[in-house]
Amino acid sequence: MAHRVTLIPGDGVGPELAEALETVIAATGVRIEFERCEAGAAVAERLGTPLPDDVVASVRRNRVAIKGPVSTPVGGGFRSVNVALRRALDLYACLRPTRSLAGVPSRYDGVDLVVVRENTEDLYAGSERMVDDDTAETVKRITRAGSERIARFAFEYARAHGRRKVTAVHKANIMKFTDGLFLRVARHVAAAYPDIEFDDRIVDALCMQLVQRPDEFDVLLLPNLYGDIVSDLVAGLVGGLGVAPGANIGTEAAVFEAVHGSAPDIAGRDIVNPVAFLLSAVMMLEHLGESEVARGVHDAVLAVVAEGRTVTADLGGTAGTQQMAAAVAARV
Ligand code: NAD
């Protein structure tokens, strides 16, 4: 039976990435029927909302989606579609495995880290207000239930994938209630996984140590905001956003997407690196139970990158996005 998957191309470079994805998926022979849905800034202009109800309904129905990036206006305008989708579908776990890839220029070799970011709470709850004309405030909300399920997710992931350690990241020295609760719950959950090492770091110290000694870390467990920031830092350790995949996972649905945004500075020029999006598709194929196809696409992407002949400019090549996708497709 064919898998039905919601495909949200999104804004900016998103449609180019969707095209690259379809080229590669077609070459694998795996039967996936994509249900295309529009979300983002372009659709907001037409329909008055960046996240029409039928998009959420489609993901609910299919339970699996792959999504291009969506632009979010800064300092005003509509609220993030990504945040809204994660909340509407309760996609509480953001999973970002990040590895050094042969052929990708970067300052480090052998980086192999997994970011597990809580996706629904913290400062992203959208509870913001102007107290008066000169004062603004945002509520940081952390719950025991939210902290517990993300901590369990991190430990279950570690166990299932043979990882050795989980590090909880926080600022509990300053935010004693919110981050203090997150840390206490992580410690409590850790006790149920004696086979996995557990430690914790204050987020600022973690950032320095990641840059100095990334090999000391394995799975990082973070509340929403630190998870967002540290994801980009970790992507930088392996050569940038062009190669960093991800997934948003809940109990009812999973949405796969690269870490990077809509890259408006390079949109429409056929130069966006498709690796992050294709590796997100590999995670999606695994989630669909298509492990062999996933392995095939994974190996094909890595081979094309390592060879370096048909890669985009950010990887030192001259190939276009679609040309690189065709090279991956030819290898599958
Ligand atoms: P960005 O990730 O879009 O781009 C940052 C820089 O990295 C740009 O110079 C871009 O050209 C480059 N870059 C990113 N991905 C690349 C790739 N695959 N290949 C080559 N170069 C790549 O971040 P930004 O500029 O801060 O954000 C742009 C828009 O994207 C904003 O509206 C932001 O809100 C949105 N955004 C969306 C998501 C999402 O949908 N998940 C995530 C982050 C940002």
Q: What is the pLDDT of residues 12-46, one digit of tens each?
A: 999 999 999 999 999 999 999 999 999 998 888 88
Q: In which residue ranges of the chain is pLDDT below 50?
A: none
Nearest CA to ligand 1 atom 40: 69
pLDDT of residue 46: 87
Token couple for 250: 């809940």
pLDDT of residue 280: 98
Residues annotated as part of the active site: 124, 171, 204, 228
CA atoms within 13 A on the CB side of 323: 13
d(CA 219, CA 232): 15
Minimum-distance ligand 1 atom for the alpha carbon of 263: 3
pLDDT of residue 60: 96
What is residue 253's three-state secondary structure? coil
Nearest CA to ligand 1 atom 36: 261
pLDDT of residue 193: 98
- Distance from the CA of 54 to the center of ligand 1, in angstroms? 25
Q: What is the pLDDT of residues 35-88, one digit of tens each?
A: 999 999 888 888 888 999 999 999 999 999 999 999 887 766 667 888 889 989
Minimum-distance ligand 1 atom for the alpha carbon of 314: 20
pLDDT of residue 197: 98
CA angle 196, 64, 265 (to 5 degrees): 95
d(CA 107, CA 275): 19
Q: What is the pLDDT of residues 147-161, one digit of tens each?
A: 999 999 999 999 999
Minimum-distance ligand 1 atom for the alpha carbon of 257: 41
Contact by Cβ (8 Å): 12, 261: yes
CA angle 302, 308, 314 (to 5 degrees): 95
Nearest CA to ligand 1 atom 26: 261
pLDDT of residue 265: 96
Nearest CA to ligand 1 atom 32: 71
Whole-model pTM: value is 0.94
Which backbone phi and psi does 158 adopt, to 5 degrees?
A: -60, -45
DSSP state of 79: P
Enumerate residues lining ligand 1, CB below 6 A: 69-72, 82, 241-242, 257, 260-266, 272-273, 276, 314
- Distance from the CA of 262 to the center of ligand 1, in angstroms? 5
State which of 104, 262, 280, 305 you would mutate to test the pocket of ligand 1, scoring each by most atoms of that ligand within 8 A of its C-beta: 262
